Structure 1
Amino acid sequence: MAITLSLGLSFSGAGVTTYRKTSAFPKPTSYTTKIRCIGWDPEGVLGPPSTGHIARREFQQRLQKDAGAREDFKRQILEEQERLRNLRAARVVPDTPAGLIEYFLDTEAQELEFEIARLRPRLDDEFFACVKFELGQLRFAVNKTQDMEDRVLELEALQKALQEGTEAYDKLQTNIVKARERLTKILTSKDIKATLLEMLERNELNKSLLTLLDENIASAQRSNQKEAADFMEKLRGAMLKYITV
């Protein structure tokens, strides 16, 4: 009968004689001690077990895979940016207000903001007068067709989008100019805390100013201007105590 000790060894009665019941002539068989637990090493002869090899390999493979995925993602972004630049460069801007109307009607929704910024000087009173004139002709036409009705809807939607877009663009430009003036005032102040409190009373600390400061911090970091970047980081922390977003 096999005996298992608490030490993890299993042996079959060393020195005990047993007989095979199936044999016609029983012969004595001697069983020697067999170690079943190869991890048992109380004297430390085998040294500490080596573990974590598979985990390290998996981590390295995952790291390499993630690095490859990041590179692929960056490459795709660069390719998409290049494709977008080529598409924008390939578009020919018409010289007349009527042609510009068709140009904007052919512009994809996600590109409308870019085109408004690029062609803002062309979106003047003359242009919007041209849109209104065509709308008036279509609305008061005697014999209206479905194409004319569709054209009215397109022009009305375009007119609204361009008016709202130009207003937002002009407001943004005004905010940028004001933010530059305010940031210059802060950076050249001899008492920054007093200046911030003064601007706070005038409600001049806002998100536009913070955004411009962040852009300057990023620019200083790219140019390795550590002292300037650190100074503006401290200024940013001070502004966050008072800023109204």
Structure 2
Amino acid sequence: MASLSIGIATVSSVRTIPRQISRRRISSVWDPKGLFGPPQTGHLARLEFKRRLERDAEAREAFQRQIREEKERRQALRKSRVIPDTAAELIEYFLDTEAQEIEFEIARLRQRLNDEFFSQIRLEIGQLRFAVSKTEEMEDRLIELEALQKALEEGIEAYDKMQNELITAKNSLTKILTTSDVKATLLEMVEKNELNRSLLALLDENIANAYRGNQKQAAEYMESIRGSVLKYLTV
């Protein structure tokens, strides 16, 4: 039996923080946009079509290379960031983090995003909001902090919900994989509303891991279970 796995969940609802905004053919070929022009025949036409496909392959390779380079850049950036010790420093840490990296940092620093942290944000927001005289810099800072607070609160809510769903999905998958009567177990889970998309996602992850580990029989068994789960989800 393939071992269960559960990856780090990410959230996609975090919004951009203001500081980040201010800084920084052949007739059988599927060609809906007409990139290859009308169908052509003959030797020269075949050569031209081949050249176009080669150029397209080069473009795809360049695109994939850019994706790999961006992934490596982000990984290096994550390793280079030094996590601060205090709540006040952690506020600056999040303000200086690229917007697209906020969700990763929420997952990594979830335990630090506690009452002490948000008390520090609220304290500074209150001081700026009720200051007798405000400068433009203070107004900008207030906007940044309010946006950060909202983004983190929404991100944490989504992250916690996803984590809870994944834990439930892992328990559900364990129940399915260890039962002697899959059909009866699935029917019982349907009645308890325990079948959901998170379970499908976890099945997909374990199926992929099983194939990578050359556990073809386990992968195929989980694929059959996935089909049954999907059937009950769509009934």
Same-fold call, TM cutoff 0.5 = yes
TM-align CA RMSD: 2.0
Contact kept, 8 Å, 1:205 with 1:244, in 2: the verdict is no
Report the more deviating stretch, 55-64 or 198-207. Answer: 55-64
Where relative contact order (Cα < 8 A, 6+ residues apart) is larger, the structure is 2
**Matched residues, number:** 195
Contact kept, 8 Å, 1:206 with 1:244, in 2: the verdict is no
Contact kept, 8 Å, 1:101 with 1:131, in 2: the verdict is yes
Aligned equivalent of 2:211, options 206, 209, 221 = 221
In structure 1, runs of 5+ residues without a counterpart are: 1-50
* Residue 183 of structure 2 corresponds to residue 193 of structure 1: yes
Normalising by structure 1, report the TM-score: 0.73
* Residue 156 of structure 2 corresponds to residue 156 of structure 1: no
Aligned to 2:95: 105
In structure 2, runs of 5+ residues without a counterpart are: 1-40
Q: Tell me which amino acid in the other structure corresponds to 1:74.
A: Q
TM superposition shift of 1:66: 3.6
Report the more deviating stretch, 151-160 or 210-219. Answer: 151-160
Aligned to 1:87: 77
Q: Tell me which amino acid in the other structure corresponds to 2:76.
A: N
TM superposition shift of 1:147: 2.2
Alpha-carbon distance between aligned partners in 1 of 2:173 and 2:209, rounded to the nearest angstrom: 15
| 1:66-215 paired onto structure 2 within 5 Å | 66-215=56-205
Q: Judging changes above 3 Å, is the alpha-carbon distance between structure 1 residues 240 and 145 closer, same or farther for their aligned structure 2 residues?
A: same
Q: Where is the helix percentage greater, Structure 1 or Structure 2?
A: 2
Normalising by structure 2, report the TM-score: 0.76
Q: Give the % identical residues.
A: 68
Alpha-carbon distance between aligned partners in 2 of 1:244 and 1:169, rounded to the nearest angstrom: 26
Q: Tell me which amino acid in the other structure corresponds to 2:119.
A: A
Contact kept, 8 Å, 1:93 with 1:103, in 2: the verdict is yes
Which has the greater radius of gyration? 1
* Residue 223 of structure 2 corresponds to residue 233 of structure 1: yes
TM superposition shift of 1:164: 1.1
3-state DSSP of counterpart to 1:143: coil
